[in-house]
Amino acid sequence: MRRALILITLLCAFSGTVARPLNDPARPLKSTTGAVLRSLAIPGWGQFYTENYFKSAAFLISETTFLINISRNSDWLQSAKSIGDLESAHFYRNNRNKLIWWFAAVKLLSLGDSYVNAQLHHIDISPELTPRGEPVLRFSFDF
Protein backbone atom coordinates (compact mmCIF):
# COMPACT_ATOMS: atom_id res chain seq x y z
CA MET A 1 0.00 0.00 0.00
CA ARG A 2 2.79 2.37 0.93
CA ARG A 3 4.66 1.67 -2.32
CA ALA A 4 1.50 2.28 -4.33
CA LEU A 5 0.97 5.67 -2.69
CA ILE A 6 4.58 6.66 -3.36
CA LEU A 7 4.26 5.56 -6.99
CA ILE A 8 1.00 7.47 -7.49
CA THR A 9 2.51 10.58 -5.90
CA LEU A 10 5.56 10.41 -8.17
CA LEU A 11 3.41 9.87 -11.26
CA CYS A 12 1.22 12.84 -10.36
CA ALA A 13 4.25 15.02 -9.66
CA PHE A 14 5.87 14.33 -13.02
CA SER A 15 2.77 14.03 -15.20
CA GLY A 16 2.58 17.77 -15.84
CA THR A 17 6.20 17.98 -17.01
CA VAL A 18 6.23 15.18 -19.60
CA ALA A 19 2.74 15.58 -21.04
CA ARG A 20 3.64 18.25 -23.64
CA PRO A 21 6.87 19.53 -25.16
CA LEU A 22 8.39 22.59 -23.55
CA ASN A 23 7.96 24.80 -26.61
CA ASP A 24 4.24 24.02 -27.03
CA PRO A 25 2.27 27.31 -26.87
CA ALA A 26 -0.74 25.49 -25.38
CA ARG A 27 1.37 24.31 -22.44
CA PRO A 28 0.52 26.29 -19.29
CA LEU A 29 3.33 28.18 -17.60
CA LYS A 30 2.31 26.82 -14.21
CA SER A 31 1.86 23.10 -13.60
CA THR A 32 -1.80 22.27 -13.00
CA THR A 33 -0.88 19.09 -11.13
CA GLY A 34 1.57 21.01 -8.99
CA ALA A 35 -1.00 23.66 -8.18
CA VAL A 36 -3.64 21.10 -7.19
CA LEU A 37 -1.21 19.07 -5.06
CA ARG A 38 0.02 22.23 -3.36
CA SER A 39 -3.55 23.29 -2.64
CA LEU A 40 -4.31 19.83 -1.29
CA ALA A 41 -1.27 19.82 1.00
CA ILE A 42 -1.50 23.30 2.53
CA PRO A 43 -4.54 25.59 2.35
CA GLY A 44 -3.95 28.41 -0.11
CA TRP A 45 -0.57 27.19 -1.37
CA GLY A 46 -1.95 26.39 -4.84
CA GLN A 47 -3.33 29.91 -5.17
CA PHE A 48 -0.02 31.34 -3.92
CA TYR A 49 1.80 29.25 -6.54
CA THR A 50 -0.40 30.70 -9.29
CA GLU A 51 0.23 34.22 -7.92
CA ASN A 52 -3.30 34.89 -6.64
CA TYR A 53 -2.30 36.20 -3.24
CA PHE A 54 -5.69 37.51 -2.09
CA LYS A 55 -7.36 34.16 -2.86
CA SER A 56 -4.48 32.39 -1.15
CA ALA A 57 -5.05 34.32 2.06
CA ALA A 58 -8.83 33.80 1.84
CA PHE A 59 -8.52 30.02 1.42
CA LEU A 60 -5.86 29.80 4.14
CA ILE A 61 -8.04 31.65 6.63
CA SER A 62 -11.29 29.87 5.75
CA GLU A 63 -9.88 26.33 5.70
CA THR A 64 -7.89 26.89 8.88
CA THR A 65 -10.99 28.27 10.60
CA PHE A 66 -13.00 25.21 9.57
CA LEU A 67 -10.27 22.84 10.83
CA ILE A 68 -10.02 24.63 14.17
CA ASN A 69 -13.80 24.58 14.66
CA ILE A 70 -14.01 20.90 13.67
CA SER A 71 -11.34 20.11 16.26
CA ARG A 72 -13.07 22.19 18.95
CA ASN A 73 -16.43 20.53 18.30
CA SER A 74 -14.79 17.10 18.48
CA ASP A 75 -13.24 18.00 21.83
CA TRP A 76 -16.56 19.30 23.15
CA LEU A 77 -18.27 16.15 21.88
CA GLN A 78 -15.84 13.94 23.80
CA SER A 79 -16.24 15.97 26.99
CA ALA A 80 -20.05 15.89 26.69
CA LYS A 81 -19.92 12.11 26.20
CA SER A 82 -17.66 11.67 29.22
CA ILE A 83 -20.07 13.48 31.55
CA GLY A 84 -23.10 11.74 30.03
CA ASP A 85 -24.78 14.80 28.51
CA LEU A 86 -26.30 13.13 25.43
CA GLU A 87 -28.20 16.19 24.24
CA SER A 88 -25.03 18.30 24.06
CA ALA A 89 -23.12 15.39 22.54
CA HIS A 90 -25.74 15.13 19.79
CA PHE A 91 -25.54 18.90 19.17
CA TYR A 92 -21.72 18.90 18.92
CA ARG A 93 -21.72 15.82 16.66
CA ASN A 94 -24.18 17.44 14.25
CA ASN A 95 -22.28 20.71 14.32
CA ARG A 96 -18.95 18.94 13.69
CA ASN A 97 -20.42 16.96 10.79
CA LYS A 98 -21.83 20.11 9.16
CA LEU A 99 -18.44 21.77 9.47
CA ILE A 100 -16.76 18.75 7.86
CA TRP A 101 -19.12 19.00 4.88
CA TRP A 102 -18.51 22.74 4.55
CA PHE A 103 -14.75 22.17 4.81
CA ALA A 104 -14.93 19.54 2.04
CA ALA A 105 -16.86 21.96 -0.18
CA VAL A 106 -14.34 24.76 0.39
CA LYS A 107 -11.45 22.34 -0.20
CA LEU A 108 -12.95 21.20 -3.52
CA LEU A 109 -13.45 24.84 -4.50
CA SER A 110 -9.82 25.53 -3.61
CA LEU A 111 -8.59 22.57 -5.68
CA GLY A 112 -10.66 23.58 -8.69
CA ASP A 113 -9.64 27.21 -8.38
CA SER A 114 -5.94 26.37 -8.24
CA TYR A 115 -6.31 24.09 -11.29
CA VAL A 116 -8.08 26.75 -13.34
CA ASN A 117 -5.67 29.48 -12.24
CA ALA A 118 -2.68 27.36 -13.27
CA GLN A 119 -4.28 26.48 -16.60
CA LEU A 120 -5.12 30.12 -17.41
CA HIS A 121 -1.97 31.65 -15.92
CA HIS A 122 -0.42 32.59 -19.28
CA ILE A 123 -3.50 34.19 -20.81
CA ASP A 124 -3.25 37.92 -21.41
CA ILE A 125 -6.32 39.77 -20.14
CA SER A 126 -5.24 43.28 -21.10
CA PRO A 127 -7.85 45.54 -22.72
CA GLU A 128 -5.75 45.78 -25.91
CA LEU A 129 -7.56 43.89 -28.65
CA THR A 130 -4.76 43.62 -31.19
CA PRO A 131 -2.21 40.81 -31.00
CA ARG A 132 1.28 41.80 -29.93
CA GLY A 133 3.59 42.68 -32.78
CA GLU A 134 0.75 43.32 -35.23
CA PRO A 135 0.30 46.75 -36.79
CA VAL A 136 -2.49 48.71 -35.24
CA LEU A 137 -5.24 50.10 -37.47
CA ARG A 138 -6.86 53.19 -35.99
CA PHE A 139 -9.98 55.06 -37.05
CA SER A 140 -10.90 58.53 -36.01
CA PHE A 141 -13.98 60.61 -36.69
CA ASP A 142 -14.27 64.38 -36.38
CA PHE A 143 -17.61 66.17 -36.37
CA atoms within a 13 Å half-sphere pointing along the CA-CB vector of 68: 6
Q: What pLDDT score does 18 carry?
A: 44
Burial class (CB in 10 A: 0-12, 13-18, 19+), 73: buried
Q: Write the pLDDT tens digit of every residue in 25-44.
A: 555 577 888 888 998 899 98
Q: What pLDDT score does 127 carry?
A: 67
Task: Provide the 10 A C-beta neighbour count for residue 117.
Answer: 21
Query: pTM higher than 0.75 for the full model?
Result: no
Q: Write the pLDDT tens digit of every residue in 61-90.
A: 999 999 999 999 999 999 999 998 889 999
Q: What pLDDT score does 95 carry?
A: 94
User: In this model, does residue 131 exceed pLDDT 80?
Assistant: no
